[in-house]
Amino acid sequence: GRRVSKEPCEKTQAVTSYSNEGTQVTVEIHPKDTAPQLFKKLSFGKGPQRLPSLRGRDHKGFRRTEAPRPPGGKDLHAYPWDRSSLKSIPVDLQQFEKLDAYALKVNVKNSVEELVKALLKQARTDLEKVRAIWMWICHHIEYDVVGYHDKSQLSSKPIDVLQTGKCICEGYAGLFEHMCSIAGIQCMKLSGYSKGYGYKMGQTFTGDSDHAWNAVYLDGRWHLLDSTWGSGSVDDSFTKFTFRYNEFYFLTHPALFINNHFPDNSNWQLLKPTLTLKDFESNMLHNSNFYMLGLLAVLPETAVIQTVNGKASVSVDCRSATLFTFKLKGTDEHGLMTLKKHGMKLEIYPQKTGSHKLQIFAKPSRASEEVYSCVLEYIVECKSVDKAMRFPKDLHQPVGPSWFTERQGFLRPSHRDPIIHTNDGRCSVTFTLSKDINVLASLHSDDSSLTEDMRRRHIMQIHRGNQIELKIHLPHAGNFVLKIYAKKKSDPGNYDYIFNYLITCLNTEVKWPAFPQSYSKWAEDYEILEPLSGLLPANRNVQFKLKMHGIAKVLVQAENTYPLTQSRGCWEGTCNTSGCREVFVMVHENANHSFYSHVLKYEVEIQ
């Protein structure tokens, strides 16, 4: 006798015989408490030389596998999803790289048996065999959009699908089942309802099933896959198919597969408890992008959201830092999105009543390309509008500080919320800078005619070591966007936009002038203590107090020139504004030099 199995089998006898046709048959005899298996190996010619294992044989050189057993208790997975894995079996995709590359290159179109034989040359385990068949189908069979519209032109026979390279879901599932059968793997073609092309949120399902997919038997359990959806997608008009491989639908965890696949026979959900059709209809559709990007859960879980006092909220949990954006009726104007370390929060304030389509997009935080994938869709039903929450057009999503702004060098923000409320029109935001960066900030509002220069002059930067303070004086009441930009000090290029806050002020009495204009010689760590207003009163004595260092002299030039005196790190003194329209602060950097540099400029009120 000769053992065929590479794994040791305790207390198992193996009897091998060779028929005169050259077929080697191995029967293993097991103790009665273990499951018996029949192995048949192909061989050409007499004696023990044999081909790589293609189990069994029929009149074409192969045999069909035994009738698949129905799913039972050990096949079932808990529902809802336990967030452990996207797949129902441990899969290391890196270990498949060579096999995948090999499967893609196999080019056999004359018979399904020959194709399977070629694919299995590199596949040892049942999992590898299923993988090779899956990869080949997903990359070589395209969805037949013409056949879908004209069924008379359509054949779902495996050989026809192989030779035309086209089919609809029935053909994909049929070919997959047939190829697995040839490879000696139990496989079932399943049918049911799906949330695929043409699905509308909240719709009900009636009548015949509309989709087909497969279950395969591996490692003593049933597993689910959908090679139609693994291969690509059709366009909105259903006239063009694009190959776009989707790993998600290979051995998908049943608690995720049920999100858009509802089998005719509820046993094939492979879930405990099973879902009703009503559950399936009302559950939020999470497409494959949702899970492939590491997103875990979302609130609310219903596809239709009712606003409460003009507001609707959505939150997403995810495994790792992820960037999000959204569109409400095609724009991102009427919402406030904030990034969290493990997700995001979005508040929506539609400015019209009625139904609004809300789409949420995401991409990995480290992704270099700018492409966001749509991960969620809702219908927002708005009964009343909150006009107070009309945001400036310049507000950019997401709003407020986050892990992303920390990564850009802005640590320990004084304001963690996206909105800063001020009653007197003044506020101050501080950060610790973790990088050697220059910061630029500007103020934007829909109802303000601020020039670019004035947008910056309503903000004053104060640096103390690696701390930066942004002092803001609003020119009037309303909603403002504080935009913050940065660049490396060593970088001569432009500033990059980093993030923004929303600043709100309801006090209509507010009317702060801009801060004084500063020139290039005004150093980053200088500080104005007084006067902060860039507009000085006429015909008055004005007190100056400036924190500056490494300077020989400071003068304030009005109608006359007034020297400031140094005292405890500050330059102080008084200047009279009579008879002048502008006041300049000038510094003498070196006592041996005769020239002064302008550092600040104030305007004087007109009488």
Residue 191 corresponds to which tokens in the numbers above?
A: 């049918």
| Integer Cα distance of 584 and 589 in angstroms | 16
> By C-alpha distance, which of 286, 285, 372 is closest to 322?
372
Is residue 138 pLDDT above 90, yes or no? yes
Residue 194 corresponds to which tokens in the numbers above?
A: 């799906």
Q: What is the pLDDT of residue 12?
A: 36
Is residue 32 pLDDT above 60, yes or no? no
* Confidence grade of residue 66 (pLDDT, cut at 50, 70, 90): low
| Integer Cα distance of 226 and 233 in angstroms | 13
CATH topology of domain 291-382: Immunoglobulin-like (2.60.40)
The answer to whether the beta carbons of residues 573 and 585 sit under 8 Å apart is no
Q: What is the pLDDT of residue 330?
A: 87
| Three-state DSSP state, 485 | strand
CATH topology of domain 517-604: Immunoglobulin-like (2.60.40)
Residue 372 corresponds to which tokens in the numbers above?
A: 């966001």
The architecture in CATH of the region 403-505 reads Sandwich (2.60)
| Integer Cα distance of 2 and 502 in angstroms | 78
The answer to whether the beta carbons of residues 576 and 559 sit under 8 Å apart is yes
Q: What is the 3-class SS of 519-565, one letter each residue? A: CCCCCCCCEEEECCCCEECCCCEEEEEEECCCCCEEEEECCCEEEEE
The 8 Å CB, 24+ separation contacts for 191-198 are: 191/263, 191/264, 192/261, 192/262, 192/263, 192/264, 192/268, 193/261, 193/262, 193/277, 193/280, 194/260, 194/261, 194/262, 195/259, 195/260, 195/285, 196/229, 196/260, 197/234, 197/238, 198/238
The answer to whether the beta carbons of residues 586 and 575 sit under 8 Å apart is no
Q: What is the pLDDT of residue 592?
A: 75
Phi, psi of 344 (to 5 degrees): -155, 160
| Integer Cα distance of 237 and 215 in angstroms | 30
Output the CA torsion sign for 138, 144, 149, 151: negative
Domains of the chain: which residue ranges? 93-268, 291-382, 403-505, 517-604
Active-site positions read 169, 211, 226
Phi, psi of 314 (to 5 degrees): -135, 140
551: exposed, middle or buried (Cβ count in 10 Å: 0-12, 13-18, 19+): buried
- Report the run of H or E that residue 180 belongs to, with start and end: helix 169-182
Is residue 37 pLDDT above 80, yes or no? no
pLDDT in tens, 560-602: 999 999 998 899 999 999 999 999 999 988 777 778 899 999 9
Residue 561 corresponds to which tokens in the numbers above?
A: 């020139």
Q: pTM of the entire structure?
A: 0.77
Region for residue 330 given its phi and psi (left: phi exceeds 0; alpha: psi -120 to 50; beta: otherwise): left
Q: What is the pLDDT of residue 454?
A: 86
| Integer Cα distance of 157 and 147 in angstroms | 14
CATH topology of domain 93-268: C8orf32 fold (3.10.620)
Is residue 44 pLDDT above 50, yes or no? no
Q: Which residues are CB-neighbours of 206 under 8 A, at least 6 positions away? A: none
The β-bridge partners of 545 are 530, 572
Q: What is the pLDDT of residue 550?
A: 87
Q: What is the mean pLDDT of the chain?
A: 87
Is residue 9 pLDDT above 70, yes or no? no
Token look-up 């040359």 returns 121
| Three-state DSSP state, 60 | coil
Residue 76 corresponds to which tokens in the numbers above?
A: 């079932």
> By C-alpha distance, which of 146, 135, 133 is closest to 234?
146
Q: What is the pLDDT of residue 33?
A: 42
| Three-state DSSP state, 504 | strand
> By C-alpha distance, which of 456, 596, 472 is closest to 518?
456
pLDDT in tens, 166-212: 999 999 999 999 999 999 999 999 999 999 988 988 889 999 999 99
| Three-state DSSP state, 407 | helix
Angle value at C-alpha 364, between 362 and 369, nearest 5 degrees? 90
567: exposed, middle or buried (Cβ count in 10 Å: 0-12, 13-18, 19+): exposed
Q: Once rounded to an integer, what is the mean pLDDT over residues 87-111?
A: 96
* Confidence grade of residue 19 (pLDDT, cut at 50, 70, 90): very low
| Three-state DSSP state, 502 | strand
Instruction: Check if 93-268 and 291-382 are the same fold.
Output: no
Q: What is the 3-class SS of 256-271, one letter each residue? A: HHCCCEEECCHHHHCE
* Confidence grade of residue 78 (pLDDT, cut at 50, 70, 90): very high
DSSP at 247: G
Phi, psi of 454 (to 5 degrees): -70, -30
